Structure 1
Amino acid sequence: MNLNETFTAVRAASRKLALLSDEQINRILNAVADAAVAKTSYILSENEKDLARMEKSNPKYDRLKLTEERLQGIAADMRNVATLPSPLGRILKEEKRPNGMKLTKISVPFGVIGIIYEARPNVSFDVFSLCLKSGNACILKGGSDADYSNRAIVEVIHEVLKRFNVDTHVVELLPADREATAELLHAAGYVDLIIPRGSSGLINFVRQNATIPVIETGAGICHTYFDEQGDTAKGAAIIHNAKTRRVSVCNALDCVIIHQNRLTDLPALCEKLKESNVIIYADAPSYEALQGHYPAELLQPATPESFGTEFLDYKMAIKTISSIEDALGHIQEYSSRHSESIITESKEHAELFTKVVDAACVYTNVSTAFTDGAQFGLGAEIGISTQKLHARGPMGLEEITSYKWLIEGNGQTRG
């Protein structure tokens, strides 16, 4: 397999994007949103082919599944992106040097962005909308699990682009095999940035094998610490929402850390989890506190593997600690630096937690379920960065732009 012709075509299409006005881009985005809704039955029928090949018990099943409601939400996100101000041409810095040179630092697109993702067909729409709005062409490398869905989505996008006389290579879907992944990871000179979205295994593979810059996203091992001065009602609501709202997403709760002096409140904190049949892996003190108050078939002793695991399922670990310092230590050891939360009425403990915890998003008395580009007012999101270079947390339009310096003068030379 040789994808260089495809990469060359995408590179050429990316340069043409600079000729589109923001108004034209917004019209295209709204038209694609309309087409996504109009073609709902076709997209869902193709999605059914993918779903038929996956067991419903697979944690990826929920991510793979599209519904009429979800497509409506995707379309709304695209329309929202169209309403956002363009991230391009922003003056980031302006200065006149003593020799008369004028320096202007302005925001520009990266150029071509490659996205590698697993069973998440919504990513195809999200990435296209954000890349088009920010003047980037995109190369999509979806997994074989979602290939029918992704091909249907890109087909719908291409139909709209043709209607607007825009080069369809501004969004290209690669074959779903591993050879295509390998070529994309080594497409130096064609692709400016790779963003993997998916499991820690996928992200580690991309980081270890790519020869072009990578922004790591996705893997979320998320903790919620119920402090000695936590409010039980708030804690119960937050823990239930963070764990059960959508278990297959990266901001879902994986481990509750509880102060030993609040173990008597643990049955109340876990009460609503029974409704979703959440399996709890409890350490010895929390197991004892829950015994007789939580269904025996759903309560299991924790093992060392229970901590530091992204469950992506109706499963959760509980760790008992004796001080906030111990809680901070546990998070430092097991966190993936995604989203961490503290439930407390102590201002001092909240300040200590937010100062010390090293994560992209740190919450006080809020569910980690809010780590999401739309919830942060970014429109859709291209991913949630768990690294520190350039972008961190939910990545919207600004995070997929770079910048360049413009220098104007009147014949200046350097001595």
Structure 2
Amino acid sequence: MQITAIHATPGYAGFFFDDQRAIKQGAQQDGFTYTGDPVTDGFEEIRQAGETLIVDVELADGTTHRGDCAAVQYSGAGGRDPLFRADEFVPVVEGPVTETLAGRDASEFLANVDRLEEVAIGGSQLHTAIRYGISQALLAAAAAAKGTTRTDVLADALGTEPATEPVPVFGQSGDDRYTNTEKMFVKGVPVLPHALINSVEKIGENGETLLEFIEWLTERSQELGPDDYEPRFHIDVYGMIGEVFGGPYDRDEVVDYFAAVEDAAAPYPIQIEGPMDAGGREAQIEAMIELRTGLQEAGVGVDIVADEWCNTFEDVRAFVDAGAADVVQIKTPDLGGVHRSGQAVRYCEGTETRAYLGGTCNETATSARACAHVALATDAAQVLAKPGMGFDEGYMIVENEMRRTIARRNRSRQPEPDADEVTADD
């Protein structure tokens, strides 16, 4: 089945673009927005509406298969591609991208996404958001052409054996961290709550506010969670531990703080994402190794998660090879094609580093469903509930897509009844 056309339509993403540098430099919230001027290139406001480019790949039989181009909430920060403006890329998708892919066999997913990555504008590779969205549509088209699931197409391309149970979902609370976390407890979400600790106010001048929140997590999870509930706590601090304590990160003051974090979370495991932002990949790796070594030598059982400066497949490989983290976030929009996210998960196999298939609240239901198939195909350690910051919707989308796919795969593998065994009663 041949690809005949690709169409692009600007739309909205599930959240907003935020100027992370401006927020870290002290921009104050004014209701839902922020006061002050943006400091990151491309931003007109510190918080502005998230955008997506809706992509439809049309096949010769007249069917269309969709993907959504999306970029992370904190675009332009931590070494990521610049702010994504959807309308700027309509002529790119309907021009050079279509010219490259039209006439190709839709069933050849890996060959098609490899050709997509060769497209360049002005000597530069396409924005990660474009590669992300078009690869989703190519994946859906390949699954339709083959009459199978997107999970199976990816598993064949990556050489993996898909998960037979849903991958643990990681819920994110947004700023409404108490109410949304209680919702997660009631639903028995396995990994939670993210918590959005992105300012000194939220972590406390000496980290005390975060410790109080973690103590609340432990107590409330036992009150609201299902029987035998054993959550894993995962909190993103956006480099704020580094802002509060500074380096070196293996010194007693820092290690003792992480020991207090472990105590507050007990008896449940806890992992801290983005403990510092060192300003570049090599510096970030060195700082993470310093912290991880200090924690290991002190016997502190808090896992650390790489996020800042860990964006591309090459970045993931560098963090894993250096042993700089217990977990790496594979931030799906930042890797470009969805196959790259799958390859990044696979790279963690056989190492001490677990793969968290993440992304951003600023995606869409379409991209979230595509990522559920990446998670299943690679059996990642955890997958993010997305899009949006309301929790319930993103959790429903990702969890149900995995359950639906597993059920379909199970049905397709049931043996046909032997004709001799079929009776009139059947």
Q: TM-score w.r.t. structure 2 length? A: 0.25
Name the larger-Rg structure: 1
